[in-house]
Chains A and B, each alone.
Chain A
């Protein structure tokens, strides 16, 4: 079974600064997807960024980028130029490569607070 671990329950950063959230995972699969989801106080889960395991290039979405280290099974999220609206719970998630359905495995979450 796959497991996802986020070792930082809480983090804080000053507005406009950069912060990195850590995530490690364990799997015997070779093909899979990794995700970072954001859950603001509204509880609406929002996809931030996605990484395919077969791609060596790290994914980037505007101010959000990842550092994917497949051999180390590490998948960190870097948020640049942090904004107050980035305050949320961030979940790292894993999904194995499959053509018959979806099933996400989530980490425990990291509560990020952006301070003015």
Chain B
């Protein structure tokens, strides 16, 4: 079974631009989560989507948004990019089981975003 895929793997943007990152979960997985990894702040949770609905949200400004499509693929958008948005953005998918408290998350290889 193919793993979580993220595109593009590397991206360079300039301040003020916007960017869209894509995540394709493992087949059958309906939950997709996004994390930001920076040297200064470490790994921080952005948001989680399930069945096209945002289910959980981290403490990030409104410039960070996402969505999920009916095939469970997810996109993350950052508008008005700032230098501090330079980071590795990781996506993780899980197979949600109703009533289960634990669903292992499988991570993708990440998208490295550089803001100049």
List the interface of chain A (C-beta within 8 A of B): 31, 33, 42-47, 50, 52, 91, 95, 97-109
Contacts and interface: CB of A to CB of B under 8 A. Distances in A.
B100 A103 contact: no
A91 B38 CA distance: 14
A49 to B, nearest CB: 12
Report, nearest first, the 7 A-B pairs whose CB atoms are least far apart.
Answer: A45-B107, A106-B43, A101-B55, A101-B56, A97-B101, A103-B56, A43-B110
B100 A99 contact: yes
A31 B107 CA distance: 24
13 contacts: A43-B88, A43-B90, A45-B107, A47-B104, A99-B99, A99-B100, A101-B50, A102-B48, A103-B33, A104-B33, A104-B35, A104-B105, A106-B42
Contacts of B72: none
- Interface majority SS (helix, strand, loop, mixed), chain B: strand
B103 interface: yes
Interface of B: 31, 33, 35, 42-45, 48, 50, 55-56, 58, 88, 90, 92, 94, 98-105, 107-110
Nearest to B102: A33
Given A43-B88, A101-B48, A108 B107 contact: no
Contacts of A109: 42-43
Contacts of B35: 104, 106
Most buried by A among B43, B44, B107, B110: B43
